[in-house]
Chains A and B, each alone.
Chain A
Amino acid sequence: MSGFQATELTNIIEIDRNKCKGCDSCKAFCPTGAINGKYGAIHSIDQEHCIFCGQCLINCPFGSISDTVDTVDVVIEKLRNKTITVVAVTAPSVRVAIGEEFGLEPGTLTTEKLYGALKQAGFKVLDANFAADHTILEEGSELVAKIRHYLLQEPAQHQLGPLPQFTSCCPGWVLFAELNCPQILPHLSSAKSPIQMAGALAKTYGARQIWQVQPEMMYVVSIAPCTAKKFEASRPEFVSAARYWRQQGHSAVYPDVDTVLTTRDLARLLKKLNIDFNRVEPFADADNPLAQYSGAGTIFGNTGGVMEAALRTAYYVISGEELPVLEYTPVRGLEGLKEAAVAIRDAGTGQTIRLKVAVVHGTKDHVRPVVEQVIAGRSPYHFIEVMNCPGGCINGGGQPINPMGTSWLGKFKALLPWH
Chain B
Amino acid sequence: LVQDRSKYIKLRARGLYRDDVQAAVRQSHHNPGLQAMYKSFAGQPLSQLAEQLFHTGYIDRTGL
A residues near B (Cβ < 8 Å) are 2-5, 92-93, 95-97, 100, 105-109, 111, 130, 132-134, 136-138, 140-142, 145, 158, 168, 174-175, 177-179, 182, 185, 188, 190-192, 196-197, 200-201, 204-205, 209, 237-238, 240-241, 243-244, 289-299, 301-303, 305, 309, 312-313, 316-317, 322, 326-327, 332, 334, 390-392, 394-395, 402, 404-407, 409, 414-418
Contact = CB atoms under 8 A, between A and B. Distances in A.
A92 B54 CA distance: 19
B14 to A, nearest CB: 5
B52 A141 contact: no
6 contacts: A106-B15, A133-B31, A137-B34, A138-B45, A182-B59, A192-B55
A138 B54 contact: yes
A177 B58 CA distance: 9
Given A394-B13, A404-B7, A295 B26 contact: yes
Interface of B: 1-23, 25-34, 36-38, 40-42, 44-46, 50-62, 64
Contact of A405 (B5, B15, B46): B5
A241 B44 CA distance: 18
B28 A294 contact: yes
Contact residues of B: prevailing secondary structure: helix
B15 A404 contact: no
A178 B61 contact: yes
B28 A142 contact: no
A93 B13 CA distance: 9
Task: Name the residue in B17, B40, B54, B59 with the highest tally of chain A Cβ atoms < 10 Å from its Cβ.
Answer: B54
B31 A179 contact: no
A170 to B, nearest CB: 13
A299 B17 contact: yes
B53 A201 contact: yes
B61 A179 contact: yes
B49 to A, nearest CB: 8
A130 B34 CA distance: 7
B60 A185 contact: yes
A266 B33 CA distance: 26
Contacts of A145: 46
Contact of B41 (A105, A205, A297, A298): A205
Task: Name the residue in A205, A295, A312, A417 with the highest tally of chain B Cβ atoms < 10 Å from its Cβ.
Answer: A295
Contacts of A416: 5-6
A384 B15 CA distance: 24
B31 to A, nearest CB: 4
Given A111-B19, A296-B28, 17 more contacts: A107-B8, A132-B28, A137-B45, A138-B55, A141-B44, A191-B55, A209-B41, A240-B53, A240-B54, A289-B36, A294-B23, A296-B20, A332-B17, A391-B12, A405-B9, A407-B1, A407-B3
B58 A296 contact: no
Contacts of A317: 29
Contact of A295 (B2, B10, B21): B21
A182 B28 CA distance: 31
